[in-house]
Amino acid sequence: MRYGRIVDNAVAEIVTPIDGFMIEDCFAPAIVATLCPVADDVQAGWVRQEDGSFAAPVVEEPAPE
Cα 58 to Cα 46: distance, rounded to the nearest angstrom: 9
Q: How many residues does the chain have?
A: 65
In a domain, 59, yes or no: no
Per-residue pLDDT, 35: 97
Domain that holds residue 26: 2-46
Domain count, the chain: 1
Of the pLDDT bands very low, low, confident and very high (cuts 50, 70, 90), residue 62 is: confident
* Dihedral sign of CA atoms 7, 29, 13, 56 in order: negative
Other beta carbons within 10 Å of 42: 20
Of the pLDDT bands very low, low, confident and very high (cuts 50, 70, 90), residue 27 is: very high
In a domain, 63, yes or no: no
Element (H, E) at 6: strand 2-7
In a domain, 53, yes or no: no
| Overall average pLDDT of the 32-58 stretch | 95
pTM for the complete prediction?
0.82
Average pLDDT, the chain: 94
Question: Percentage of residues in the chain with pLDDT exceeding 90?
Answer: 85
In a domain, 61, yes or no: no
In a domain, 19, yes or no: yes
